Structure 1
Amino acid sequence: MTGLKLYTYPNNPRAFKALIAAKYVGVQIEVPEFAMGTENKSSKFLKLNPAGKVPVLETPEGGVFESNAIARYVAGLADTGLKGTTDYEQALIDQWVDFATLELDAPFSSWLYPIVMPNVVPYNKQREEAAQAAIKKAFTALEAHLKSHTFLVGQRVTLADIVACCSIFNGITKLTDDTFLKPFPGLKRWFLTLAHQPEFAAVMGPVQLCSSPLKYTPQKKEQAPKKDKAAQQPKKEAAPAAAATPAATAGEEEDTPAAPHPKPKNPLDALPPSKMALDSWKRMYSNTPAKSFREVAIKALWEGGDVPRSQTNEHFEGYDPEGYSMWFCDYKYPEENTVNFIVMNKVGGFLQRLDYVRKYAFGVISILKNESGEFPVKGLWIFRGSGIPPIMLDECVDLELYEWTKVNLSDPKQKALVEDMIVEEDKIAGLELVDTKVFK
């Protein structure tokens, strides 16, 4: 196979996945210089990936985006066993690929991004602690598995090892020192074993484990330079400040501190005011007794109503379709969801990593069960604004695992489904409801 081009920024661990797989299958991938912020917005690039994100693989047949999909494509270009040799092995490999994306990559990103990009992803101590706890939980599961396995699946390197290794690359080289890794010797052995494989080393280069973890440092406010005392003394013949003219002050240094730079605003905060207060709906949802939920909360959602048990006699104005939007999300790979508790943990982790959007969102996630024994996942979201919040689109890696559809409330079937999901009916879209998780 020739003519493969991978577009990415330098040292992107998500791009490493495909490049390492290429070494194993013996194909060449060109990595041209690529200017993020400009080239990824071009019409040519958007034909390869309409989301405008990297990595993207250009092939003779067209573009492939999302790092795991790219790695799977490359791994399948030669029959080397990277994708497994039996249906069962393939399922196990996909299992660990999903585990790495959801349980490793996502929380490590939640921990790292606010440290290295505080202007883009605001730092939150509770969110950092939650990410660390999630990583320790995932590492514990990996450690238990690796006590009796050299590699994640079988007796050789597979795509599962490649994806998982790349998913923890930034974390294990920037965030987790010896103290953090002490309970996980098997995981550490596995990572270093992979890092020293020629195919990994050719892409990653020499790997050094973290010895001094990156820490969040609050940004210092800019201050005007101090003047000497003589300069601070008022001049005897100086004109009153109110009478000063530009000509009189043009050459003088200002005495007042420099105005601080305004904090970047969330674009949702700049939207026109809405009659609907999302927090008011959340209290309506939480305070309404279960026995009268449909009659009180659902009716109030469309028509407005008094919030039950409110000590301030709060009135909820009802859903505002001009200021808010509703969305369904459906997990794309229900065939992977065959173990109930794993699915619940997967959904719980997804919601846990969305703390930064809580001000602008309300969600109900239904874990269902079909006749095949699978556990499909369907969500209903209320978002401030007409679309999915921009910060979710930029930062939530889980988003790509769901199919998103805007709710059409003029369709009686869709409106009824919204109500059924909020009420937690026994049947949702014809499927048995197993559990519901709420984001509020």
Structure 2
Amino acid sequence: MSDLRIFSYLPNPRIWKATIAARLCGVDVEVRGSSPKELQSWLWDFDAHRLSSDELARSGDTTTGKVGFSGTLHKTRAFIEAHPFGTVPAAFSPDGKTGIFESNSIMRAVARLGEKRFPLYGRDAYEAARVDSFLDASLVFARDSQIYLLSLISGTVTTEIHSRMRDGFKVYLGGINQSLLPNRDFLVGNSITIADICFVAELALFSNEKARPGELIKKGLEPILHDGIDAECPLAFAHFARLTKHAAFAADLEPYLKKIESSRAAHTDR
């Protein structure tokens, strides 16, 4: 039996916060899920699974999809009790009774479960609090990036959304860059923490902007991840590049980032 089970749409860089942490500290994490569109035919539950045609017809566990989803979703009463906001990613304790929601909290749970093997949450109360500071700062960036990326997908991006995201990106990446001065290898302490993991996962997710340049061109907007952006926050981008090659990160991130670059190249060649 796994130490933690996660149900989510896939692929999802935000659940990789937990899987990366799990590799580093020896926690057994099980991931279940499928693409956002296919989750409409899944039972949202601790025992999440794809429903057969007969099960879909009989299912009384239905609700209307929210942000990022449309149509009818099938959520059990136990799922709603464990996850009162009804969102994914959704994590569960091994007995399925305790729900953990929001990707940073799921990652924290993994770090706590494996703290004796690897101090991902810092080596004392002060380092732990500093880690939390980075995680809290990431929430504003994450919220803005979700709005921005969904607007690119739906073709509804506006100058206002783009401007807010551009400003938020500069603040977040600027803070990360400053934190790595002078010559620091990690955001907190002398080894990888969940602050580093969170940063890498959020920037990987934001890299999806590269795959949708057409929507920005239509609106006369410049990509935030434009050529030369690395020079504006060199330490932050170098930190990202270095960690994506780390064995604990690469299993999730390398195929994902390669696919984004391939999509970007395809748009460029048109």
> Is the pair's TM-score, using the shorter chain for normalization, greater than 0.5?
yes
Task: Give the aligned CA root-mean-square deviation in angstroms.
Answer: 2.4
> Percent of pairs identical after alignment?
27
CA contact (8 A) 1:81 1:158 kept: yes
Match of 2:122 in 1: 84
Task: Find out whether 1:147 has 2:176 as its counterpart.
Answer: no
Q: 1:29 to 1:123 in 2, by over 3 A?
A: same
SS across alignment from 1:95: helix
Residue of structure 2 aligned with 1:167, choices 196, 202, 217: 202
Once the two structures are superposed, residues 282-312 of structure 1 have per-residue CA deviations (whole angstroms, 9 ceiling, x without a partner) of xxxxxxxxxxxxxxxxxxxxxxxxxxxxxxx
Match of 1:105 in 2: 142
CA contact (8 A) 1:101 1:167 kept: no
Q: 1:47 to 1:213 in 2, by over 3 A?
A: farther
SS across alignment from 2:100: strand
Task: Find out whether 1:36 has 2:39 as its counterpart.
Answer: yes
Structure 2 unaligned blocks of 5 or more: 45-73, 211-224
CA contact (8 A) 2:149 2:208 kept: no
Residues of 2 paired with 1:60 and 1:76: CA distance? 15
Q: Which has the higher helix share?
A: 2
1:49-128 equivalences in 2 (<5 Å): 49-61=83-95, 62-78=98-114, 79=116, 80-102=118-140, 104-118=141-155, 122-128=156-162
CA contact (8 A) 1:22 1:75 kept: yes
Q: 1:49 to 1:29 in 2, by over 3 A?
A: same
Residues of 2 paired with 1:140 and 1:132: CA distance? 12
SS across alignment from 1:123: coil
Superposition deviation, residue 154 in structure 1: 1.1
Residues of 2 paired with 1:214 and 1:124: CA distance? 24
Residues of 2 paired with 1:210 and 1:179: CA distance? 16
Q: 1:17 to 1:214 in 2, by over 3 A?
A: farther
Once the two structures are superposed, residues 206-249 of structure 1 have per-residue CA deviations (whole angstroms, 9 ceiling, x without a partner) of 4348694999xxxxxxxxxxxxxxxxxxxxxxxxxxxxxxxxxx
Q: Larger Cα Rg: Structure 1 or Structure 2? A: 1
CA contact (8 A) 1:21 1:71 kept: yes
Residues of 1 paired with 2:20 and 2:249: CA distance? 6
CA contact (8 A) 2:245 2:254 kept: no
Residue of structure 2 aligned with 1:198, choices 238, 243, 247: 247
Q: 1:37 to 1:152 in 2, by over 3 A?
A: same
Residues of 2 paired with 1:6 and 1:36: CA distance? 14
Residues of 2 paired with 1:99 and 1:108: CA distance? 13
Match of 1:305 in 2: none
Residues of 1 paired with 2:92 and 2:109: CA distance? 11
1:251-262 equivalences in 2 (<5 Å): none
With normalisation by structure 2, the TM-score equals 0.71
Once the two structures are superposed, residues 9-45 of structure 1 have per-residue CA deviations (whole angstroms, 9 ceiling, x without a partner) of 1111111111111111112212223542353332143
SS across alignment from 2:29: coil
